[in-house]
């Protein structure tokens, strides 16, 4: 405790300089934490993926549809527990800027496959009973002020026309990693309307969601599904839900790499700032280090004082930056909720921020420490006065 008091007093000898250095560290750690949170948010769908779900789509591209008849053949494959299906709808609510995910699903099997979407028993019953009913996440419902029973009209882009839906349920996520901004409705309703219009999209699906009995059988079942439809007019590609999500992220890999580089550049900049502060401290205290050597202090004690002072400064700044990360991330998350429905500060971001502060403290003190232990007593004493 006595040593810590000495280190803190030494660190704050020059209050303005130390305060500005701490401020710089705080801003840098806050920026680092937000950038890491941004990257984690990008991978939000991947983290929420289930090991017992597969996604089957066209082997050519996701924009090509598969026949509805495939569902019966998939059900017969050993290891398959549940089969559901869906179509991306791409509807617009009032204005194009009101973007949110909306798609048609086979309601009963979809809710079975995604127990993380929590509905009350009454809401689930009403949704399954109403062909024009839809379910929305609570964040989406809160965003537009929707209430149970409200009539909501989407303007179709892929499927032209105005489509009327009735809100029958508002789901909550099982935990904070679950997207609560989705909109899904009955695939049967979509298909019936397409049949009336003699659309080529009738009786076709965008993808199949397959629940399997055991996670370790994922590869086996995926290969069996693709083998079943090999050399057909619509060959399939089956992958785990996690791999399916990662395929979308891969499209923006360059952006993510740039963000990661920026996050580490921030750390390099703050290392330079702290190193500059410690170098100035070293120049001011050359005479003191010479006196310590005269009194019999060994090099490791002097090194410990310099490293300790550097760590005190960086840890104080880092702790303030980490504490500020949570409220700032909450504000940023609200601002970006349309694009990142899950924007939470992950434990990984906090641990990386704290580890970065330790690294900064050590690296910034290396050069001043080396100079302090190398200086001769006579040269140091000449600086006094």
pLDDT for 166 equals: 96
Q: What is the pLDDT along the chain (385 residues), one digit of tens a residue?
A: 667 777 677 667 778 888 888 888 888 888 888 888 887 777 766 666 778 899 999 999 888 999 999 999 999 999 999 999 999 998 999 888 888 899 999 999 999 999 999 999 999 999 999 999 999 999 999 999 999 999 999 999 899 999 999 999 999 988 877 888 999 999 999 999 999 988 888 999 999 999 999 989 999 999 999 999 999 989 999 998 888 877 766 666 677 788 778 888 887 888 787 777 777 776 666 666 666 667 666 777 777 777 777 888 888 888 998 899 888 888 887 777 666 767 778 777 788 888 888 888 888 778 777 777 776 766 656 665 4
In whole angstroms, what is the distance from residue 75 CA to residue 57 CA? 15
Q: What is the pLDDT of residue 175?
A: 81
| Tokens linked to 127 | 């949704």
Whole-angstrom distance, CA of residue 329 vs CA of residue 352: 16
Residue 315's nearest CA partner among 281, 277, 352, 357 is 357
CA 342, CA 82: separation in Å to the nearest integer?
27
pLDDT of residue 292: 67
Q: Tell me what pLDDT residue 338 has.
A: 66
CA dist 196 and 211 (Å) reads 32
Q: Which residue has the tokens 């979407």?
A: 117
Question: Do 184 and 102 contact (CB within 8 A), yes or no?
Answer: yes
DSSP 193: H
Q: The pTM is what?
A: 0.71
* Residue pair 4/336 in contact by the 8 Å Cβ criterion: no
Which pLDDT does position 250 carry in this prediction? Answer: 66
Residue pair 80/211 in contact (Cβ under 8 Å)? The answer is yes
């Amino acid at each position: 405790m006595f040593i810590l008091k000495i280190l803190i007093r030494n660190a704050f000898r020059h209050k303005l300089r130390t305060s500005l250095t701490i401020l710089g560290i705080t801003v840098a750690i806050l920026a680092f934490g937000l950038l890491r949170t941004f990257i984690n948010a990008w991978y939000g769908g991947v983290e929420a993926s289930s090991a017992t779900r597969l996604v089957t789509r066209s082997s050519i591209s996701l924009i090509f549809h598969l026949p509805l008849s495939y569902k019966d053949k998939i059900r017969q494959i050993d290891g398959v527990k549940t089969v559901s299906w869906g179509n991306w709808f791409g509807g617009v609510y009032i204005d194009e800027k009101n973007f949110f995910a909306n798609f048609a699903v086979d309601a009963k099997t979809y809710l079975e496959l995604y127990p993380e979407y929590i509905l009350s028993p009454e809401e689930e019953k009403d949704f399954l009973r109403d062909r024009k009913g839809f379910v929305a996440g609570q964040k989406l419902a809160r965003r537009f002020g929707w209430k149970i029973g409200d009539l909501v009209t989407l303007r179709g882009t892929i499927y032209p026309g105005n489509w009327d839906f009735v809100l029958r349920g508002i789901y909550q996520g099982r935990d904070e990693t679950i997207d609560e901004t989705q909109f899904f409705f009955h695939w049967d309703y979509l298909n019936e309307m397409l049949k009336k219009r003699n659309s080529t999209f009738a009786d076709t699906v965008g993808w199949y969601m397959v629940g399997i009995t055991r996670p370790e059988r994922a590869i086996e079942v995926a290969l069996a599904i693709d083998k079943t439809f090999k050399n057909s007019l619509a060959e399939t590609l089956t992958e785990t839900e996690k791999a399916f999500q990662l395929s979308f992220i891969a499209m923006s890999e360059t952006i993510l790499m740039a963000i990661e580089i920026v996050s580490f550049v921030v750390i390099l900049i703050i290392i330079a700032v702290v190193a500059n502060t410690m170098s100035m401290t070293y120049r001011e205290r050359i005479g003191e280090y010479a006196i310590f050597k005269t009194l019999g202090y060994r090099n490791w004690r002097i090194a410990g004082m310099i490293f300790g002072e550097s760590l005190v400064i960086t840890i104080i700044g880092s702790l303030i930056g980490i504490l500020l990360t949570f409220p700032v991330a909450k504000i940023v998350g609200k601002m970006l909720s349309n694009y990142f429905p899950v924007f939470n500060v992950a434990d990984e971001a906090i641990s990386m921020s704290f580890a970065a502060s330790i690294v900064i403290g050590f690296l910034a003190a290396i050069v001043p420490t080396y100079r302090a232990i190398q200086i001769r007593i006579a040269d140091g004493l000449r600086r006094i006065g």
